[in-house]
Amino acid sequence: MGLTVIATIPSNLHGSEIHPDELTGDLADEFAEESEASYAFNATPIIFKLDEDVCGDRLDKVIARLIPQFSRSRLQQWIVSGHVTVDGVAGRGKMTVLGGEEVIVYPQPAPEDNAYSPENMALDIVFEDKSMLVINKPAGLVVHPAAGNWSGTLLNGLLHHFPAISGVPRAGIVHRLDKDTSGLMVVAKTLEAQTDLVRQLQARTVKREYLALVWGRPNLSGTIDSPMARHPRDRIKMAVSDSPSAKPAVTHFQRIAIGVLDGKPVSLVECQLETGRTHQIRVHMAHLGFPLVGDVLYGKQHLASYFNRQALQARRLGLLHPKNQKECSWQVGLADDIAALLVSAGIEYAA
């Protein structure tokens, strides 16, 4: 294509990438679906002088060829919103160019461009020192920015609470909880602490215990040793699988109380993770035939309205302190909504 570039395209226009330490096993699985970009947005206008060999082409197609690092849909949005001009006049996507025109593209930030911005939010910090924080995450809070959730995440709150954590990959996050799962998480404040915690998770020495309310009456105790992979037909879901891509997944469970919810049997189950696959407890319990109360993704749809999220809480967390290797453990009380749910089911639970 013939053109004269009057202003060159900045090399960092589309953002720079964070390259955190290599993650393997459980850790790679925890973050496999998430974006890695820091999106240092640059709004420098891009100016082109079109040559005559583009005569007869549509403006939107010309621009898409000139700056392919941006998606066509994003470029179309800029054209529609008046951020692409042709000889000083707002361009239209379907307009025909003749050659010789001066085209200016004014890049506009997308939601993901500010994904790593600090945001002031209330964090329920259970423990904090120079090496790490332990946070009691509420239901509804997304841990890490990703498609559909580029702001308002725990990561954004961490960057505001402790700005220096921006120098640690993923702002110190080494494991996560689903958006609608509440409970304890550990976050590293230094690279050294993160490296140690990652190694503990990979060695499966971090103790993570959960409480789940499930439909039905599972055995008093058991171990679910069933590999998991992405669901073959629904990419949002995980599934027990025997495919070559499946990864080991082990959940130990113990039934600690039984109750009735609207005439249907339910059981309070304590689960301990040996591995940390995405949605592991939800998938494993549903695979046994005992889906979590409120789980619209893996449970029975006609029962989903009994609770507005999956009834799952990370109640206990145990690990070796990354600085002095002393054993540490934390426990939180029942989330208010889960406590009320247990009362409705006639279950009395004392930690």
Q: Using an 8 Å Cβ cutoff, are 293 and 307 in contact? A: yes
CA nearest 189: which of 163, 165, 153?
A: 165
Q: Other C-beta atoms within 10 Å of 120: how many?
A: 9
Q: Catalytic: which of 60, 178, 196, 295? A: 178
Q: What's the token pair of residue 100?
A: 């010789």
Q: What's the token pair of residue 341?
A: 């749910």
Strand 84-86 relative to strand 89-90, pairing: antiparallel
Q: Where are the beta strands (DSSP E) in 138-202?
A: 182-188
| First-residue to last-residue Cα distance in the chain | 70
* Amino acid letter for position 259: G
178 is catalytic: yes
Q: How far apart are CA 329 and CA 312, in angstroms?
A: 19
Q: How far apart are CA 42 and CA 38, in angstroms?
A: 12
Which residues are annotated as catalytic? 178
